[in-house]
Amino acid sequence: MILFWLLAVLLVGTALAVIMAPKPVYSVVALLGHFVALAIVYLSLSAEFIAVTQILVYSGAILVLFLFVIALLSSGNGGITLGPDRLPKIPTPALIALALTLIAIAYGGAHAVRQMLPVAGGGGALPVGAAGAFGSVADFGATLFTVQLLPFELTALLLMVAIIGVVVLAGDHEALTANDPRSLAGLRRLEREAILREGEPLR
Amino acid sequence: MIPAVDISSYVTLSALLFLIGVAGVVLRRNPLVMLMGIELMLNASNLALVAFSRAWGNNVGQIFAFIVIIVAAAEAAIGLAIIVVLFNRSERVDVDDVTLLKG
């Protein structure tokens, strides 16, 4: 119980730090704390595999990707210039009222559902790591590779599409098409060569 | 052994974290922070899924959360690639100025 409230305070605090930090790097550090705290919450809900995946994929891969992009973008041109944030434009009391309503609905809905639950109270942890227990890797994998095999296989397609999309977006088009005089990059190359030869751009 | 925590506490925490993520996306203009807000929202939904999965004693919710993590990874990769392309196009990046697909 104490663990949950401690982690809840930590989660909300780090989440607020993520969205209010003046620099994106601070946001990433706060997000790291958020993900680690969330992984501990998952462990307390006896979802071991999700907890480990959370650390591996989010803290290991996604955050490093964020850091790489921040380092890449702010190294060359001396910082990122941005417009002002939109906070002053929006009527804040209405937003807070809406947020409180949504939270009340979430609490009430979960409270109503609680009566139907098979596990009394719905919380608490089983012994973590016991073979065959609910949420253990064996239990998770058995369901993932039998009942839920189709969604699992479809994620492979999704990741493939993502990889192709990233290569198309961020790939080096100039290098790919520089030898083709019909392309923009090829035209630019011809123009550069003409400048080198004659000292002025051809028009 | 950890004493039982009520499911509604988990769901309320999840709703709160989701709203913080929404605030991050709506109020900030830095595209990196907006992407992090989306990650916060996905994580909040994962928390609700895992909590309900534990409450019902059914691990399909955990598998759903696992697939959400995969989708989040793909989304972060694509989103960051778009941001890199935007920054390469101009020095100043304001998400309100990006109207390339507006038609």
A·B CB contacts under 8 A: 260
A31 contacts B37 by C-beta, under 8 angstroms? no
Q: How many whole angstroms separate alpha carbon B6 and alpha carbon A8? A: 13
- The pLDDT score that the predictor gives to residue A92 is 74
- Give the closest-approach CA distance of A134 to chain B in angstroms: 7
Question: How many degrees, rounded to 5, is the angle at CA A186 between CA A183 and CA A187?
Answer: 85
Q: What is the pLDDT of residue A135?
A: 73
The pLDDT of residue A31: 93
Nearest to B7 among A19, A117, A155 (CB): A117
Distance of residue A189 Cα from the nearest chain B Cα, in angstroms? 19
Q: For residue range A66-98, list pLDDT tens digits in order.
A: 998 888 876 544 445 555 566 556 667 777 888
Smallest CA-to-CA distance from A187 within A169, A202, A172, A198 is with A202
Contact of B31 with B90, CB cutoff 8 Å = no
The predicted pLDDT at position B50 comes to: 92
Using the Cβ of B33 and the Cβ atoms of chain A, whether some distance falls under 8 Å is answered with yes
Q: Look at residue B17 in the predicted model and tell me its pLDDT.
A: 93
B77 token code pair: 């990769």
Would you call B14 an interface residue with chain A, using a CB distance cutoff of 8 Å?
A: yes
- Give the pTM: 0.79
Helix, strand, coil in percent for chain B, rounding step 5: 75, 0, 25
Q: What integer best gives the mean pLDDT of chain B? A: 84
Best to test chain B binding among A23, A62, A116, A154 (most B CBs inside 10 Å)? A62
* Residues A107 and B11 sit within 8 Å (Cβ to Cβ): yes
pLDDT digits (tens, 9 = 90+) for B34-77: 899 999 999 999 999 998 888 888 888 899 999 999 999 999 99
Q: Which of A19, A144, A170 minimises the CB distance to B37?
A: A19
Q: Could you say which residues of chain A have pLDDT below 70?
A: 74-91, 117-133, 172-185, 199-203
Q: Looking at residue B93, what is its pLDDT?
A: 62
Helix B7-27 vs helix B31-56: angle between axes, to the nearest 10 degrees? 170
Provide CB contacts within 8 A for A5, sequence distance 6+. Answer: none
Quote the minimal CA–CA distance from A185 to chain B in Å.
Answer: 15
User: B33 pLDDT exceeds 80?
Assistant: yes
Q: Which of B35, B40, B95, B100 to substitute to test the interface with A, most A CBs within 10 Å?
A: B40
What percentage of chain B reaches a pLDDT higher than 70?
82
Cα–Cα distances in Å, from A94 out to A88, A98, A154, B73? 13, 6, 41, 33
ipTM above 0.90, yes or no: no
Which chain A residues touch B4 with a CB distance below 8 Å?
1, 120-124
